[in-house]
Structure 1
Amino acid sequence: MTAAVSLIWLGLLPLLVQSLDFTYHNSSQLEAILKDFNSRYPAITYLYSIGKSVEGRDLWVFVVGKYPTKHTVGIPEFKYVANMHGNEAVGREILLHLIEYLLTNYQSNATVTQLVTNTRIHLLPSMNPDGFAASSPNDCDSVNGRFNKNGYDLNRNFPDAFEENKDPVQPETQAVMGWIKSETFVLSANFHGGAMVASYSYDNSYTVPPDNDVLMYLAQKYSENNLQMYSSNSCPGFSGFTNGITNGAVWYKVKGGMQDYNYIYNQCVEITLEVSCCKYPDPSTLQGFWNDNKVSVIEYIKQVHMGIKGQVLDMNGKPILNAIVDIQGRSRMCPYKTNKNGEYYFLLRPGTYTFKVTVSNKSMEKTLTIPQSSNLSAMTYNFQFTEQTTIPATTSGLCSQATQDSNRSSTLQVDLVMFFFNVLVLYNTL
């Protein structure tokens, strides 16, 4: 038996393939890399396109997980999105190296093996491939390539709960919206460049979100594992980020952002990661950026297992779709609803919480204490009704118009208060 045949028989040949180089990869190269990884690791990977860009480039999503092709009850869905601003290119390469790291360490590294086994990880390296094609390295500050081919900023293109967004929905945005609706994503982050900070919701309101403690914790978890980000003074002109995190609106308000859209309308917590002072730095810096973010990207994925998960079941033990699960003191703008498997996932810090589960004509309350998560598995609790329940009707669209109008009104009041407060502070400093 030859050495090569022996290696194939042992399943070790993929480890001998040359490592991914630290350079920028165009769309054709990116596609080839993803297809190669998929062919070499078919048991734990899945590659699919969620749609096409204006110029017809595929928006490829690479999945890593023990059950990569479909959702499995009890296994949370996680996602990373990069390059939605085409000229912010570092995140695109970080995700490619993350894929390689997960695949080559599966079954040899205990943490990675457990993470891949217990999580379905979706990675979209480029949401704006047309913008990337129109941009170039060593461009730190311009907007060349930022927008999609139609000239729209994709991070201003999503439905907004706080004010009406009249911009036409772009193909890339539509593809991501459909993707989000097709999965039960629990946790997400999107990569940007031009600063070094982890930013959390809300992006378009000064009001405090119901999960503010969780959002701050998640941003802090990423930042504290990235020394450059945590130092808060890595970029010229940015010195106001304590411990490398910020609330989005406090930094600057964004209408139509993807972060708020995920959190408000889709039950998926998302933060924004600004990972490079220069938007499109020289390729010689890429290995340093990977080293800076390597621990953070893994630690952040782990957080999808914090809190509690489970199912809502009827008296016969069958899952209930569209059951509303509320937590006392954490009323969301859009009520949390179970998926077709009756599942719910809540990212929560350790503590005691009172849950209220409502199914059309019935409701129940239960107080539960959530411990510190361990072994990459959230606490599991199933809510089961003991009486006959009426299955809720399937709802369509986003939150009700009444909910949005009420929220815009309260947001306007808060924003006016903040405006006059800021004017007062400015006046006192002149």
Structure 2
Amino acid sequence: MDLLLYLCLGFWVPVVAALDFKYHHQDAMEAFLKEVAQTHDSITYLHSIGKSVSGRNLWVLVVGRSPKEHKIGIPEFKYIGNMHGDETVGRELLLHLIDHLVKNDGKDPEITRLINNTRIHIMPTMNPDGFESVEEPDCYFSNGRFNKNKYDLNRNFPDGFENNSVPIQAETQAIKNWLKSETFVLSANLHGGALVASYPFDNGVPETGTKQGHSIAPDNDVFEYLAYTYSSKNPEMSAGTSCKNGVGFRNGITNGYTWYPLKGGMQDYNYIWAQCFEITLEVSCCKYPPEETLLDFWNSNKHSLIEYIKQVHLGVKGQVFDVNNNPIPNAIVESSGRSHICPYRTNKFGEYYLLLLPGSYTINATVPGYTSVLKQVTIPENIKNFSALRVDFHFPFQVTNTSSTRISCSEVPLYMYFKSHSGRLKSHYMSLILLTFVSIFHIK
């Protein structure tokens, strides 16, 4: 009767079916994503970044005020789920996150501001072939973990520490191409088989601390904070809950190498070569739990998923200009004392984003052949404002013939011959505990 009244009055109210708490196979997932994109076309953009080995689309749903293109000053964030096809909870969590975001835009002030100030990319499944191949769901292992060609996608990326000779798979190549097409700042990939937020590095060399049982990135303080931001909002994860096939983790976080070494992982690749801080989220002890538990997983992870997105606004951002106010692509912009082995450079708009905790820093902008420009900055606690501190750099010369294509380092083991490291390696947020865990269950 109410719907009929609205139609008689000349109004049209979109009717969107509720997203059930059940497993959504490829057809059902695509139908949901297409319905969202059509119903909420002003804030969403659905596209495929490539295809799986079997030809299934690798769908990404973008949420933001400018969903189809990057806007200067608006950071790019991404979530990737179901990298291992039999680790299924993350896939459903991301579908429900999409549902939550679009339905609360304009209703929930926090969600509205998040969408206003962030471009959010969500890939529910990176391994649709693996998911579809699972015939007998299991809590610990099934053949669906791998892609169609029987490769583990989280061992399939170039490695920063040792040669990784495995053939690059279609799904991996699609991610690599995607990373080159956007200026991603922060990311997480969702797995199952444990309850922990794991952060780089997953692999290492003695110079990054492997003899001490960990492998520490130059931005270790930020990574510990990011991991704890997620775990602290998840009651079971933050409690260090131990799964039957492993051990518990203090505060629900761990350095990846401390847990167990992993060659060719996606989070290390993001950080080293794509200038994107990524962590790995293990969100369920059981990899493929019964459908009736999915609502509980959503309730446990909803606040963590949203709080983690907000961290893309940590630190400092800005642009680098020449004397004529033209943006300078490929300028190196980094914080002194935490240089990256593959330097972080500005994009085609001369933009940079550096995730840093509140505090005082020296930011160094460098254009090859010219004197660097240094600025002392004090970063406040600014997350609630949904914007990093803006600091622009102006060089007193004209730049000509500068390629807008971002310069990247060769995808070789850059750390193989590394002789020194940042002075900020030590843990600033909490102590690391050496965990004696053998990776026989292949979780990450």
Give the TM-score taking structure 2 as reference length: 0.88
Amino-acid identity (%): 56
Matched to 1:370, the amino acid is I
User: Which of 393, 417, 428 is matched with 1:406 structurally?
Assistant: 417
Spell out the pairing of 1:329-340 with structure 2 (5 A cutoff). 329-340=337-348
Structure 1 residue 3: deviation in Å? 2.1
Matched to 1:225, the amino acid is K
Aligned to 1:47: 46
Task: Give the paired residue count.
Answer: 408
Structure 1 residue 387: deviation in Å? 2.7
Aligned to 1:304: 312
Structure 1 residue 135: deviation in Å? 1.1
Matched to 1:386, the amino acid is P
- Secondary structure of the structure 2 residue equivalent to 1:145: helix
Residues 91, 124 of structure 2: 8 Å contact kept: yes
Residues 198, 281 of structure 2: 8 Å contact kept: yes
Aligned to 1:385: 395
Residues 348, 406 of structure 2: 8 Å contact kept: no
CA deviation map 1:225-246 (0-9, x unaligned): 0001111124124334100000
Matched to 1:358, the amino acid is T
CA 361–166 in structure 1, closer or farther in 2 if over 3 Å, else same: same
Residues 63, 122 of structure 1: 8 Å contact kept: yes
Matched to 1:5, the amino acid is L
User: Which of 314, 318, 321 is matched with 2:322 structurally?
Assistant: 314
CA deviation map 1:35-78 (0-9, x unaligned): 00001000000000000001110000000000000000000000
User: Which of 345, 354, 378 is matched with 1:369 structurally?
Assistant: 378
- Secondary structure of the structure 1 residue equivalent to 2:140: coil
User: Which of 348, 351, 354 is matched with 1:346 structurally?
Assistant: 354
Q: In the aligned structure 1, how far is the partner of 2:8 from the partner of 2:296?
A: 36
Aligned to 2:120: 121
Structure 1 residue 402: deviation in Å? 8.7
Aligned to 1:148: 147
Aligned to 1:259: 267
Residues 159, 413 of structure 2: 8 Å contact kept: no
Q: In the aligned structure 2, how far is the partner of 1:7 from the partner of 1:90?
A: 43
- Secondary structure of the structure 2 residue equivalent to 1:398: coil
Aligned to 1:277: 285
Matched to 2:344, the amino acid is Y
Matched to 2:269, the amino acid is Y
Aligned to 1:415: none
Q: In the aligned structure 1, how far is the partner of 2:72 from the partner of 2:327?
A: 11
Structure 1 residue 8: deviation in Å? 7.5
Runs of at least 4 residues of structure 1 off by over 6 A? none
Structure 1 residue 6: deviation in Å? 6.7
- Secondary structure of the structure 2 residue equivalent to 1:262: helix
Q: In the aligned structure 2, how far is the partner of 1:221 from the partner of 1:316?
A: 41
Q: In the aligned structure 1, how far is the partner of 2:391 from the partner of 2:133?
A: 49
Q: In the aligned structure 2, how far is the partner of 1:6 from the partner of 1:228?
A: 50
CA 67–385 in structure 1, closer or farther in 2 if over 3 Å, else same: same
CA 29–216 in structure 1, closer or farther in 2 if over 3 Å, else same: same
Residues 80, 122 of structure 2: 8 Å contact kept: yes
Residues 327, 353 of structure 1: 8 Å contact kept: yes
Aligned to 1:4: 6
Residues 359, 390 of structure 1: 8 Å contact kept: no
Which has the bigger relative contact order, CA under 8 A and spacing at least 6?
2
CA deviation map 1:265-289 (0-9, x unaligned): 1100000000000000000100000
- Secondary structure of the structure 1 residue equivalent to 2:143: coil
Larger helix percent? 1
1:79 aligns with 2:86: no
CA deviation map 1:74-119 (0-9, x unaligned): 0000000000100000000000000000000000100000000100
Q: In the aligned structure 2, how far is the partner of 1:277 from the partner of 1:399?
A: 37
Q: In the aligned structure 1, how far is the partner of 2:128 from the partner of 2:412?
A: 34
Matched to 1:365, the amino acid is L
Structure 1 residue 380: deviation in Å? 0.6
Residues 196, 229 of structure 1: 8 Å contact kept: yes
Aligned to 1:428: none
Structure 1 residue 389: deviation in Å? 4.3
Spell out the pairing of 1:199-218 with structure 2 (5 A cutoff). 199-205=198-204, 206=210, 207-218=215-226
Give the TM-score taking structure 1 as reference length: 0.91
Matched to 1:241, the amino acid is F
Structure 1 residue 378: deviation in Å? 0.8
Residues 360, 391 of structure 1: 8 Å contact kept: no
Q: In the aligned structure 1, how far is the partner of 2:320 from the partner of 2:64?
A: 25
Structure 1 residue 333: deviation in Å? 1.0
Aligned to 1:230: 238
Please, which runs of 5 or more residues in structure 1 have no aligned partner? 412-421, 423-430
Structure 1 residue 396: deviation in Å? 5.3
Please, which runs of 5 or more residues in structure 2 have no aligned partner? 205-209, 422-433, 435-444
